[in-house]
Amino acid sequence: MGRLTTHVLDTARGRPGAGIQIKLFSLAGGRHLVASTVTNADGRTDNPLLDDETYRGGGYEIEFAVGSYFAAAGVDAGEPPFLDDVVVRCSLAEAGNYHIPLLVSPWSYSTYRGS
C-alpha cells in the first residue's frame, strides 16, 4: 500500500545526521504520535516511519530534533539556537512510496520528495 522513509544530512559538517530524534504525527482527527525513532550512523532510520501495515494516506508532520543534535555535537547554533525542532508537514496519497530527506545546518534546512 505504501511506505514513508526519511534521512538527515548535516550540511554544516558534511556528514550524516546521526542520533537525531524523529517523531511522526498523524493530523487525522487531531495531532497524535504514530512513530518515534532515532537516526542511525548513516543518518537514516532503521525502519520506515510507515510501512505497508501502518501506512494510511493523509496529513502528517515529521518532527526532527535538530537543536539538541547540534547542541550535543558542540556546534554553535546561537543563543538561543536559531533552529530547534524542524517540522515538515506533508500530505500522503492513499497509496505510494515517499522518501522525505532533511538537509540541515544550524541556520537553515531544506527538504524534498526523494525517491
Give the pLDDT score at 11. 97
Cell numbers linked to 84: 530547534
State the alpha helices, DSSP H only, in 4-96: 66-72
Phi, psi of 72 (to 5 degrees): -65, -30
Give the whole-angstrom CA distance, residue 59 versus residue 34.
Answer: 12
Give the pLDDT score at 40. 98
Q: What is the pLDDT along the chain (115 residues), one digit of tens a residue?
A: 899 999 999 999 999 999 999 999 999 999 999 999 999 999 999 999 999 999 999 999 999 999 999 999 999 888 899 999 999 999 999 999 999 999 999 999 999 999 8
Domain residue ranges in the chain: 2-111
CATH number of 2-111: 2.60.40.180
112 DSSP 8-state letter: -
Give the pLDDT score at 37. 98
User: Is the overall model pTM greater than 0.75, yes or no?
Assistant: yes
Which of 96, 71, 100, 70 shows the shortest CA–CA distance to 88?
100
Give the pLDDT score at 115. 84
